[in-house]
Each structure stands twice: as C-alpha cells, then as structure tokens.
Amino acid sequence: MSVVYIALPVALLLALAGVIAFIWAVRSGQLDDLETPGLRIFGDDDAPPPPTPPESKIEE
Amino acid sequence: MSETPARGAGGAAAETACSHCGLPVPAGLVEPAAEHQFCCSGCRVAYQVIRGAGLEQYYAIRERVDAPSRPALGSGRRYQELDDPAFLELYARATPAGLATIELYLEGVHCAACLWLVERTPMVVPGVASCRLDIGRSLATVIWDPAATQLSEVAAFLDSLGYPAHPYQGVERRDLERRSDRAFLIRIAVAGAVAGNIMLLAFALYGGAFHGIEAEFSRLFRWASLLLSLPSVLWCAGVFYRGAWGSLRTRTIHMDVPISVGILAGFSWGAANTVRGSGEVYFDSVTALVFLLLVGRFVQRRQQRSAARATELLFSLAPSTARLVEGGAVREVPVAALRPGAVVELRAGDSVPADGVVIEGSSTLDLSLLTGEVRPVEVAPGSPAHAGTVNLASRILLEVRSTGEDTRVGRLLRLIEESARRRAPVVQLADRISGWFVGAVLALALATLLIWLRLDPVRAVDHAVALLIVSCPCALGLATPLAVAAAIGHAARRGILIKGGDALELLARRGRMVLDKTGTLTEGRLSVVRWTGDEGLRPVVAAIEAHSSHPVAIALAAGSSLTKENAVADVVSHPGRGMTASWNGRPVLVGSPGFATGMGVEIGGAWQEAIEAAVADGLTPVVAALDGRVAAVAALGDPIRSDARRTLDRIRRMGWTVEVLSGDHPGSVATVMRQLGIERGRGGADPETKAELVREAGATRLVAMAGDGINDAAALAAASVGIGVHGGAEATLAAADVYLARPGLAPIAELLEGSRRTMRVIRRNLAFSLLYNAAAVSLAVAGVMHPALAAVLMPASSITVVLSSYRARTF
C-alpha cells in the first residue's frame, strides 16, 4: 500500500474544494463586475461602506 | 482651499478655476469677495448640493484619483414620470424585503469620485436602502422603500449631482447574459481543474514511460485520468458537440466539427486503451484542449457583446417622457402611455415624441435626423410633425395622431429589422478553412490507418488516433477570436465600437463606401461659412442673434461673448425673416435679403453678387445692415468636416470607391460632391429609397454605408457593413455594425486600415497553427508521435497564437 493511494484522493479533494469555491464566487456575483470594486477602496477610509444589496443573486 | 481642483485649462495663473468643475471661470462671473468661484449656475447648484449633504470628500477623492474629465452638469429635470405606476411596473422590481429596486443608467459617471458620490445616496435621501454603481456600464442599482420616498427624488438628487438618470431598458437581457456568463465560467473552471490535475498525473506517467514505472501505479493513474476527464469531455465540451451537430445538420462545416472529432477520438481511444491496459492515453491533451478552447470561446462571447452593450446603453438615453397636457395642467408621462388624441406640450429643445399635428403656437423643427435636411422647417397650427424631429424655437402644442410602431419612425424601425434579417451571414475565414481542413484530416487519418495496417497492424489505430488528436485545431480555433477580441479592444479605446468580427472581415476587403452627407461628410449644423463685408459688425450681429434660438441665429451668435462694446438694445424678432435692434443708438438689421429689402434697405450690386454667390453654393445668405445700408453679407451653410478630404483620400487608397447618398436637396449634395471631388452620388433620397439603393448595390459588390440619422438606419442595416457616425440617432446605433464614438470622419479610415491589419493577424495566426498541425500530422503519419510530444506541441501552438494576437498593433 503506497502513500499514493492517500495522496491522490487528497489532491483531488483539494482540487474539488477549489472548484466549489470558484462556483460559489461566480454564483454570488463576484465575477460579474471586475472594474468597480477596485475603485471602491478610494472612498473607504472613514465613512462606513454602503450596505451590500441583499439580492445580487439571480434566481437560477 | 483643498477642494479647489488645480486643473485650470491652460494653467494660466490669472485664471480662476471653478470650485466644482475646475474649468476657468469667465472674467465677468468672478466674484472677488466670494470664497468659491463658479463658471455657471449649474456648477454652483451641484457644489451646494454636495456641500449641503456633507459629501465634500468627493473633491478630495477626485484630487487623489486625478479624474481626467470634469463632472457633468445636471439637467434640472423633475423626473415626475418615474413615479407613474405604469412606469414602475415596466422598470422596477420588488425585493423580497418589500422594497423596490430599479437600474438607472447614469450619464457622466467616470471615476472613483463619482462612484463614491453615487453610492452615498442612501446617506442623503431618506428611504433609499442602497445604491450600488457598476462603473463599467454606468448602471446604478437603487433599492428604495416606496413607502418612505419616491423614485423621482432619488433621480432628482443624482441629477443635481450632475448624473442625469435614465431607466435602463436592457435589464432582462443583461440578466440573461449574466446567467449564461456565470454558467460558462463554471464550465471553464471545471475544465481547467480537470486539465490541471490530469496534467499532474500525466507528468508521472511520462516520467514512468522514460524511467520505468510499476504497472500498478501506471494503471492507477490511467484510470484516475479517465475518471477525471469524464466531466470535461462529457459536460464541458458539450458546447462544441452542439455546435458541430448544428453545423452538420445545416451542412455547413465549421470549426466545431474538427474540434469535436479530435476530442471524441482521443477520449474514446484513450478510454479503450485504459480498459485494455495497453497502448497510449491522451487524456492530458484532450482536457487541455477543452479548457483552452472554452477560454477562447468565452473571449469571443465577451467581445461580441461589449460593443453591443455600449450601443444599448445609448438606447436608454432615448427621450422616454412626454409632457402631457390634461385639463390645463402639464405632467410628464412615459412616451408609451401616449394615445392618439392626447395633447402634448413641446418646449424649445424637446424631441417630438409621436406623430401628430400642431394645434397651438408656431416654431421651427429640425428634421435632420429624420430626413437629412439641414435647414429647419417652419410649423404653424395645422402642420404635421413627426416623431424623431426636434422642436427648436418656441413652445407648441401637438395633438398626437399615431404613436409607437405606427409613427413614421416606427415604420422605419420595422424596415431596419427586416433588412437586418435578410442579410446573408458572413462565413468567417477560419470556418471556410475548416471545411477542407476536416476533409484533409479525415483522409490523412484513414491513409495512416491503411498504411500502418500493412506495416504494423497492432499500432495502426494508435497512429491514426494520434493524428486525429494532434490535428485537432486548437490554435486554429483560437486564431480568429483572439485576434478579433484584441482588435475590438484596441478599437474601442480609440472610440470605434465594433459589434462583431464579421464587420472586420468584410471591411478588410474592397468595395463601395456610401456616405451620408448631413452629419457625416458635414458637421450637420448650420454655421457661418463666409462673411463678406465689415468684420467689426460681427460681434454686434452675434449679440442681436443671441436673443433667438433659431438655428440661423445660433450659427450667427456662435463663438462670440457679450461685452460692453457690442451691447444692443430694442431687439425685435420677426420670426422666420430676421431681427432688428439698435447699437449705440444706430439701427441694425439682420435678416434674409427679402426682409432687408422689405424694410427699405437697398442692396447694391456688389452685395447682390455676394448673395447670388452664396445661393449658387447652396448656402443661405443673411444680410446685416447698419443705418439702413448693407454692411455685410453672411453665407450660412452646413460646413464640410475639416478632415473629410484627407479621410476620403485614405479610404480611396484602401481600394474603396466613395459615393454620397443623401436625403438633402440635390443642389447642396452636388456642392459637397464638387468640393470633395466625389464623382458618384445622389440627393433627395428618402429613407426607403436609400435602403433600396444600398440593397441593389450590395447584390453585386460589397457595400459599406456610413450615416448618422434615422433616415440612414434602414440603409445601414441593408448594407454589408453599416457604420453609425458619432452623434447619430438611436435607431442608427441599433442598425449599425460599427459605431464611431468619436467625432469626425477619420475613424472610418482608421477602421478600414485596422480591419485590414486585423485580417493580416488572423491569417498569420491561421498560418502558424496550420504549420504546427502539418508538423504534428507528418510525425503522426510517420508513426513517431508520442503523447508527450503531442502534449507539448498543442499548448505551444496556442501560446504562439495568443502572443501573436495580443502583440499585434491593429488599431
């Protein structure tokens, strides 16, 4: 019984976790707009950030 | 004073910069005692709103990000129509929390400071839960409590900051796009994860192939690769199978066919070999192929959409409201709510919302967008007015006769849709190649199989499959989309919005360039072309004409400011004929020659000649008389764009012939043609005739049409490639394949040159990838192709294509 039999499933599980994290990021709209969030930091120093709208998700 | 922007134009020390926009304040408006200076009342209002709401940080942020352009000015509208239940039903949606949400397209947002300001709306307008801006699309998503505030207040607040708001009309399409984009990204993620992990396993297998590996591990890795590749081959690559199936059914081979053949052949043979426990497997190459091609496909989808989206946003700027007169009161209603018989009020500057008849007041209408005619038309009670024209002079009341689709504009839009449907699709170069490519690959694979059946029957299928995989046109599939995406990106930065690769492919050839006159070859507005006589009288004439909003008056008043020297008094307007006034106690008259004669001014021989010369050139003469004697003659016309001649030369040098097709009077068309040295052309063509002529011409040769008006839109749709010129009507945007977001004609020449360079890049890409394929195929036929070599060759060819696409200077 080689360590490969443990390492391989572990590696694949890690990959699966990555894919699931990515799918979550896509579904929650984080990749819809890649331009605005980068500019938002300019105004963030004192005032509280505006609340995130609750429904950025689109019903599938 | 930290918030005073240090960006005065020209940087002259004596200039006072406006506290809001940073532009120099005119000398007459500087108030020495005041702390803040403003160039206009609009800036003053915006500044007061921002200060009053405690949002001064806006100016500090703007300093920090060094915003390139000045803030826009509000329109001062009241946005009552946004509270109309019919409007809200159309555009707003309810949120689960019982609030309402809407997307507003904001004019004038351009930097981080705008973003900051817009997103602070909830702090200022009570009842707004959130206001998020997508700066790339200029779309603000507003969530508000309908019980606590009205949408019109939100819109009026944004307007007062200098961001006029418009309801965004493409929400449904945007959501649809977003959903499919998300699904596609997930597809890419799965394909990428699969390809990456199989690559790791493949390293072990290749290492084993060269240095030895225990059969047990070799089998484990092969089975693991097989199982891993299942989602990629069965699900992610489904896009290509569907495309291939569709193309086979319509009997038009395109790129998806060889791609599908390669993927399926590689996977099936690899799976068979895994089960048998001998022979080669190609899971690494197959899954990497799926991943790379999906990325290429994604780039292509985005690229096709970006320009379409830009025009769609401009669509949202269409006048969506009309001022309805009901029982003596006026209220703003959505245009969609207008019915025949309704009476609408049109102030100077308003667009006519529907076809109808003038029932009160008299004014002049600008028909240029509808007919191409530059000279404004007088209307009085009883005259018809069409939607899409603009009321210029004074308030009129209009009784609506037909609305929406039944208007002349509505019928034109139907014509546009029809023309667009009739147009034959363009077969892209890569797809044309793939036709014979598929045949060649299948024939070669068969030949390899037959040859090797004689030489070494055991290895025959292996060699044939190796050929199918290495010839799978990965680089070929990426060659066109990447080059086109890069070119469209570069072009957009230069103000040329291209809706798809088809236009680039067509414009790289040669053909007939048909140009509209008004607004395309010419500026599209009246201005003084010639001034004969006393130059000193010009500021005085300008001061008099500043009292009127007639286009002739605007042209005469342009470029002159009011000073003590040209102060005039007793200005009397004689609508449609001229004006009289007094300057330093001396009577001044400005008007048409007929008006001058009628007022007792004698026009001498020399002046008569100047007037006749103007008429001969298709210009409108205006006489200026001082003390009852003619002192100057101005000739007004629609000036030819300063870059027209040079651009036409560039277009001709590209092998295109240039023609004019205009709705304006044949006389003025002939003048422009003479001045620009254009040989073919015709005037007096109505929109339907234009479309018909372009369609006829397109039957024999490639025809590109450039125009700006609604009158050109049908012709744009009928042409092989329609080019919408800067400042054009919304219908033009919908019909055009290319939209020039920069004034002038030069972008047309740039477009042609850029298209040709783009096609050169595409051809170079195709040549590269075919070369790689040829090398790989010969190795496979010779039977020396190893899976490891295939795994290196394929990405190498793709990387070559990627680099060649993005390094190229196209636009």
- pLDDT tens-digit readout, B244-299: 898 888 877 777 888 888 899 889 989 999 998 887 888 988 998 899 889 888 88
> How far apart, in whole angstroms, are the C-alpha atoms of residue B244 and residue B306?
26
Average pLDDT over residues B75-103: 81
Decide if B239 contacts B187 (C-beta within 8 A).
yes
Query: Is A24 contained in some domain?
Result: yes
The string over B31-70, giving b where at least 16 C-beta atoms fall within 10 Å of a residue's C-beta and e elsewhere, is eeeeebbbbbebbbbbbebbbebebebbbebbbebebeeb
For residues B186 and B707, which has the higher predicted lDDT (pLDDT)?
B186
Judge: B130–A53 Cβ closer than 8 Å, yes or no. Answer: yes
* pLDDT digits 0-9 by tens, A11-40: 999 999 999 999 999 999 888 888 888 888
Between B7-16, B147-156, B469-478, the lowest mean confidence (pLDDT) is in B7-16
A14 touches chain B (CB under 8 A): no
Q: Report yes or no on A51 lying in a domain.
A: no
Residues B716-743 have pLDDT tens digits of: 888 889 998 877 666 677 678 888 878 8
The pLDDT value given to residue B5: 41
| Residue type at B447 in one-letter notation | A
Contact A39 B111 (CB under 8 A): yes
- Residue B467: exposed, middle, or buried by beta-carbon count in 10 A (0-12, 13-18, 19+)? buried
> What confidence tens digit (pLDDT) does each residue in B779-789 have?
888 878 777 78
User: Does residue A27 fall inside a structural domain?
Assistant: yes
pLDDT band at B512 (very low <50, low <70, confident <90, very high): very high
Q: Which is more confidently placed, B516 or B302?
A: B516
* DSSP symbols for B63-98: HHHT-SSPPP-------GGGG-HHHHHHH-EE-TTS
CA pair distance B486, B429, nearest whole angstrom: 17
Residue in this structure with the two tokens 């003053």, named with its chain if needed: B44
Task: Tell me which residue has tokens 């010779």.
Answer: B782
Q: How far is A1 from chain B (nearest CA, A)?
A: 11
- Inter-chain contact A15–B193, Cβ cutoff 8 Å? yes
What is the average pLDDT across B542-567?
Answer: 77
Query: How many separate domains does chain A show?
Result: 1
A 10 A CB-CB count for B103 gives 21
Q: What is the mean pLDDT of chain B?
A: 82
| pLDDT class of B491 with cuts at 50, 70, 90 | confident
Range of the structural domain that residue A27 is part of:
1-33
**Position A6 in a domain:** yes
| B528 pLDDT above the threshold of 70 | yes
Q: What are phi and psi of B254, to 5 degrees?
A: -130, -175
Cβ contact A4–B182 (<8 Å) = no
Q: Where are the domains of chain B?
A: 9-65, 176-310+426-483+788-807, 491-523+641-757, 527-637
**Which of B96, B175, B220 shows the shortest C-beta gap to A58?**
B175
Cβ–Cβ < 8 Å for B115, A40: yes
**Would you call B295 an interface residue with chain A, using a CB distance cutoff of 8 Å?**
no
List, for residues B160-207, the tens digit of each pLDDT value: 888 888 888 777 778 888 898 999 999 999 999 999 999 999 988 888
Q: What integer is the mean pLDDT of B748-753?
A: 92
CB nearest to B135's CB, from A23, A35, A55:
A35
Tell me: ipTM over 0.85: no
Chain-chain contact of A19 with B112 (C-beta, under 8 angstroms): no
The minimal CB distance from B143 to the residues A16, A39, A53 is found for A53
With an 8 Å Cβ cutoff, is A20 touching chain B? no
Per-residue pLDDT averaged across B610-617, rounded? Answer: 85
Question: A39 in a domain, yes or no?
Answer: no
Taking only residues 86 to 145 of chain B, the set having a beta carbon closer than 8 angstroms to any beta carbon of chain A reads 95-97, 101, 111-113, 115-116, 119-120, 122-123, 129-137, 141, 143
Spell out which residues of chain A touch residue B53, defining contact as CB-CB under 8 Å: none
Lowest model confidence (mean pLDDT) among B263-267, B309-313, B386-390, B682-686: B309-313
CB of B149 less than 8 A from some CB of A: no
Please say if the pLDDT value at position B7 is more than 50: no
Share of chain B above pLDDT 70, in %: 89
Q: Specify the CATH number for B491-523+641-757; select among 3.40.190.10, 3.50.4.10, 1.10.150.20, 3.40.50.1000.
A: 3.40.50.1000
Q: What is the mean pLDDT of residues B141-158?
A: 89
Tally Cβ neighbours within 10 Å of residue B190: 20
The shortest C-alpha distance from B220 to chain A (Å) reads 9
Q: Residues 6 or more apart from B235 whose CB is under 8 A from it?
A: B187, B190
pLDDT score for B272? 92
Band of pLDDT at residue B650, cut at 50, 70 and 90: very high
- The nearest CA of chain A is from the CA of B232 a distance in Å of 13
Give the pLDDT mean for B39-46. 75
B 206-265 residues with CB < 8 A to A: 217, 220, 224, 228
Give yes or no for residue B463 having a pLDDT over 70.
yes
- Residues B19-32, mean pLDDT to the nearest whole number: 72
Residue numbers in B near A11 (CB within 8 A): 197, 200
CB B20 within 8 A of CB B134: no
Average pLDDT value for residue range B488-517: 86
Q: Is residue A40 a part of any domain in this protein?
A: no
Cα separation, B432 vs B438, whole angstroms = 11
- Classified by CATH at the fold level, domain B527-637 comes out as Calcium-transporting ATPase, cytoplasmic domain N (3.40.1110)
pLDDT at B14: 47
